[in-house]
């Protein structure tokens, strides 16, 4: 766990999850073998027995994460020459369906953000948070961890320096003029939520003066969806999906979207291409010479006898 924290720089959520997963495996071995587990128990046989034991209790995603934790432990032991090889690499990850992310239409996102139109500090804070999440494609944890010095203005445009929880990598992303105006209105009001114990660097504060928690942001977004009457109730991650989807619909290239989202692999970004098949079809029909559909061509196609020559034989 020290290796994961200090050398791999895994996020706090990953550390907690992997710690619980490894403890569960050790308890499973001890219960089945009625003895203290040893390094030799990190084997294909024992891991498969553990996964079979929890099958039906946990979903495919949870089982896959447990296998990832054990595989990471196997790699660590091999690198430290505690094992000759990593036997867990022989076990395949369970296949899981990859649901497409839910993205709101542009008009729903606009209605959601503009739901916060008050001048109270909490309204200004919530408006600024939603503008940044949607305007810069932030993860909820990234939004919660923003500092005042993370914001940089260039004229009327705002850029945010974002530190990701995944590997501690940082990136600079544009947030747009709407987000810039919302943040500019929030910063003077921030003092009304601040307390003597408040972290002076935190951009967003909770009602008790501490740095805002990701779960609070989720609650704000979900309740605003209900109040604004959006077609789907989404969380902050849904706003991030909407950000990427709307960029793709407007012609932005995948590499740029990958950078703004902070994806390590382009394959993570390519899921958004599946969302927009309707738009792709429209572009194809309007651009390809063999796919153009005009009213005249449709009438000719459907006219009596139009197919007679094709049906001969």
Question: Rounded CA gap, 305 and 298, in Å?
Answer: 14
Please answer whether residues 155 and 162 qualify as being in contact, where contact means their C-beta atoms are separated by less than 8 angstroms. Answer: no
Active site residues: 139, 166, 237, 240, 263, 272
Smallest CA-to-CA distance from 245 within 212, 269, 211 is with 269
Please answer whether residues 125 and 193 qualify as being in contact, where contact means their C-beta atoms are separated by less than 8 angstroms. Answer: yes
Q: Can you give the C-alpha Rg of the chain in angstroms?
A: 26
Smallest CA-to-CA distance from 264 within 171, 133, 161 is with 171
Smallest CA-to-CA distance from 125 within 106, 111, 144 is with 144
Smallest CA-to-CA distance from 224 within 135, 141, 144, 104 is with 104
Q: For the packed helices 236-249 and 106-114, what is the interaxial angle rounded to 10 degrees?
A: 140
Please answer whether residues 187 and 175 qualify as being in contact, where contact means their C-beta atoms are separated by less than 8 angstroms. Answer: no
Question: Rounded CA gap, 258 and 295, in Å?
Answer: 40
Question: Rounded CA gap, 29 and 185, in Å?
Answer: 57
The β-bridge partners of 147 are 202
């Amino acid at each position: 766990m020290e290796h994961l924290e200090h050398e791999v720089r895994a996020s706090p959520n990953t550390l907690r999850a992997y710690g619980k997963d490894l403890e569960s495996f050790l308890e499973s071995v001890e219960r089945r073998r009625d003895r203290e587990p040893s390094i030799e128990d990190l084997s294909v046989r024992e891991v498969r027995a553990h996964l079979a034991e929890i099958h039906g209790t946990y979903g495919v995603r949870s089982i896959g994460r447990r296998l990832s934790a054990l595989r990471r432990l196997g790699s660590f032991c091999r690198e430290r020459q505690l094992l000759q090889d990593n036997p867990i690499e022989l076990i395949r990850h369970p296949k899981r369906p990859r649901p497409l992310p839910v993205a709101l239409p542009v008009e729903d996102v606009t209605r959601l953000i503009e739901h916060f139109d008050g001048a109270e500090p909490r309204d200004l804070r919530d408006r600024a948070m939603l503008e940044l999440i949607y305007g810069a494609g932030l993860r909820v944890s990234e939004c919660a961890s923003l500092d005042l010095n993370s914001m940089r203005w260039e004229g009327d445009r705002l850029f945010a320096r974002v530190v990701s929880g995944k590997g501690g990598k940082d990136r600079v992303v544009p947030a747009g003029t709407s987000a810039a105006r919302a943040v500019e209105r929030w910063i003077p009001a921030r003092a009304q939520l601040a307390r003597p114990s408040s972290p002076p660097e935190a951009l967003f504060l909770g009602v008790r003066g501490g740095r805002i928690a990701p779960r609070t942001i989720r609650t704000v977004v979900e309740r605003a969806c209900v109040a604004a009457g959006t077609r789907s109730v989404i969380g902050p991650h849904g706003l991030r999906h909407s950000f990427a989807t709307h960029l793709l619909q407007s012609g932005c290239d995948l590499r740029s979207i990958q950078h703004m989202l902070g994806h390590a692999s382009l394959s993570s970004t390519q899921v958004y291409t599946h969302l927009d098949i309707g738009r792709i079809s429209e572009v194809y029909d309007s651009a390809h010479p063999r796919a153009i559909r005009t009213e005249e061509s449709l009438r000719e196609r459907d006219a009596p006898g139009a197919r007679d020559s094709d049906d001969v034989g």
